[in-house]
Amino acid sequence: MKVLHVAAEIFPLVKTGGLADVLGALPQALIGQGTDVRLLLPGLPPILDAVLSPTLVCEIGAVFGAAKVRLIRGHMPFSHVPVYVVDAPYFYRRSGSPYQSSSGVEWPDNLQRFALLGWVAAQLAAGELDAGWLPDVVHAHDWHAAMACAYIAQHLPTRAARVFTVHNLAYQGLFSLNDFHLLGLPGRFAAPSALEYHGQLSFMKAGLKFANAITTVSTSYAREIATPEFGCGLEGVIQSRAGCVFGVLNGVDYAVWNPEHDTGIAAPYSADQLDGKALCKAGLQAEMGLTQDAKALLFGVVSRLTSQKGLDLVLAALPALLQAGAQIVVQGSGDSALETAFIEAAKNHPRQIAVRIAYDEALAHRIISGADSLLMPSRFEPCGLTQLYALRYGCLPLVRHVGGLADTVVNASAAHLEADQATGFCFVEASAHALSVAMHQAIKLYQQPGVWQKIMRRAMQQEFSWDVAARSYLDLYKRLTETMRLPVSP
């Protein structure tokens, strides 16, 4: 089974969130189960510069307004997964994020930049660029890669099945309908039955309409996105694909996230030997200038600061946290109003609140190892990886009962405590009050070290293996290639 994974980010080279972690781990897990996986990535500087043994596959020439586009083949550093890289210097050789300039402005030619990525995937699937390797499945991730599904549909019949994974429906890749001509697609693709979305072009919709199967990253989110509350206006499209939408929970790369072998934390520890955890906490309190107090419950936040993550609720709950004598470390960047408010709070209470406005992978490990509990009060959460990392580090997740958070954290209710099932704390209503109640529950339980440690050990023993997810994807690929439905066409 040959599978081409198409995406814009990959850990550890280019990362803005969990999508990169998925691409950094899932292909290897699939390869471990006998799948012949290759990646297709845009030639962003950190990717092009790191690819091992790069060789030229072919000169593509001038496409989408960029001259000198080439396809390079090589291997990923560390994992050695085979990779194709689209070398289009005019589109991709830029500093900043894959989607925005360093000042946070969307690149004005994102339509062409990500259409190119999808188009190259379709050309590969059609055997036009590398006749020696024809994928049976093209697996596109998020809107950045979604146009692969439309371009393959344009050239039907093709033998490649199309799988589209929604990592986050809130980011849709919307562009002006006036720029449709730049895509080089027949006019029928501009119709509401195809890419048109409320007078705009939606790349996300290209994936939802033209994939043979749609997956998303948890069972709950797969259900939620068919509703107006979570469907971001695309719930109708998702409902129309009922029967083709599946939830596959993400896994954790325990080679990267494991306190037993993590060399970046103050001291290693495990479920059987918890002593190092106290050193990690003391180290974090010292590093952050917080009061050195082992008895104060230390909450952690490692997050993009966006409305999705519900961190305004944390701000509103800070007075309750302060009054209860707890502490909090917040690491994140994004929304400037949230950044300013957290900085202000830390300035006023430096011994209890510490804030780092930064994107720093090493600090994320120190926070998750040092904190007692990780806050994720998300308004929606397709899967969430940070709470899975926190579980392994015995940093009990305190989460809103939504999406992948609901699927992975078991609330410390009386019933779950009695049944030895609790792994964290959950609250339902998206309000500061509900969050504060859950925080108080955690603070109270923390005063019973025996009970707390029992939950910690159970949390640390949870397994969210990529092998399980890889098996589900492989089953799906097999089903699709064996019983390939009639091609989806506009």
Point out which residues bind ligand ADP (CB under 6 A). Answer: 17-18, 21, 302-304, 331-333, 358-361, 364, 383-386
Helix (H) or strand (E) holding 109: none
Q: In sequence order, which residues have a C-beta less than 8 Å from that of residue 347 and are 6 or more positions away? A: none
Alpha-carbon distances of 20 from 13, 14, 152, rounded to whole Å: 9, 7, 24
Query: Taking the alpha carbons of 77, 82, 87, 93 in that order, is the dihedral positive or negative?
Result: negative
Tokens of 420: 């030895």
Binds ligand GLC (CB under 6 A): choice among 317, 383, 439, 445? 383
Tokens of 419: 């049944």
Decide: is 19 part of the binding site for ligand GLC (CB under 6 A). yes
Decide: is 25 part of the binding site for ligand GLC (CB under 6 A). no
Q: Which does 252 bind (CB under 5 to 8 A by kind): ligand ADP, ligand GLC, none?
A: none
Decide: is 14 part of the binding site for ligand GLC (CB under 6 A). no
Decide: is 27 part of the binding site for ligand GLC (CB under 6 A). no
| Distance from C-alpha of 314 to C-alpha of 320, rounded to nearest angstrom | 10
Distance of closest approach, residue 241 Cβ to ligand GLC, in angstroms? 19
Binding piece for ligand GLC, criterion CB under 6 A, among 11-19, 128-136, 151-159, 182-190: 11-19
Q: Which does 415 bind (CB under 5 to 8 A by kind): ligand GLC, ligand ADP, none?
A: none
Using CB under 6 A as the criterion, what x/- string covers residues 402-421 for binding ligand GLC? --x-----------------
Q: Enumerate residues 167-186 that contact ligand GLC by CB under 6 A.
A: 167-168
Distance of closest approach, residue 234 Cβ to ligand GLC, in angstroms? 16
Closest CA to 12 of 50, 57, 63: 50
Distance of closest approach, residue 20 Cβ to ligand GLC, in angstroms? 8
| Distance from C-alpha of 420 to C-alpha of 459, rounded to nearest angstrom | 11
| Distance from C-alpha of 202 to C-alpha of 231, rounded to nearest angstrom | 14
Closer Cβ to ligand GLC, 38 or 167, answer by number: 167
Assign 3-class secondary structure to 45-67. Answer: HHHHHHCEEEEEEEEEEEECCEE
Q: Which does 106 bind (CB under 5 to 8 A by kind): ligand GLC, ligand ADP, none?
A: none
Using CB under 6 A as the criterion, what x/- string covers residues 125-164 for binding ligand GLC? ----------------------------------------
Q: Which does 331 bind (CB under 5 to 8 A by kind): ligand GLC, ligand ADP, none?
A: ligand ADP
Whether the ω angle into residue 157 lies within 30 degrees of 0, i.e. cis, is yes
In degrees rounded to 5, what are phi and psi of residue 343? -60, -45
Binding piece for ligand GLC, criterion CB under 6 A, among 94-102, 190-198, 376-384, 480-488: 376-384
SS3 68: strand
Closest CA to 7 of 34, 36, 43, 41: 41
Closest CA to 333 of 359, 363, 313: 359
Decide: is 10 part of the binding site for ligand GLC (CB under 6 A). no
Which residues here bind ligand GLC, judged by CB under 6 A? 17-19, 22, 167-168, 217, 250, 381-385, 404
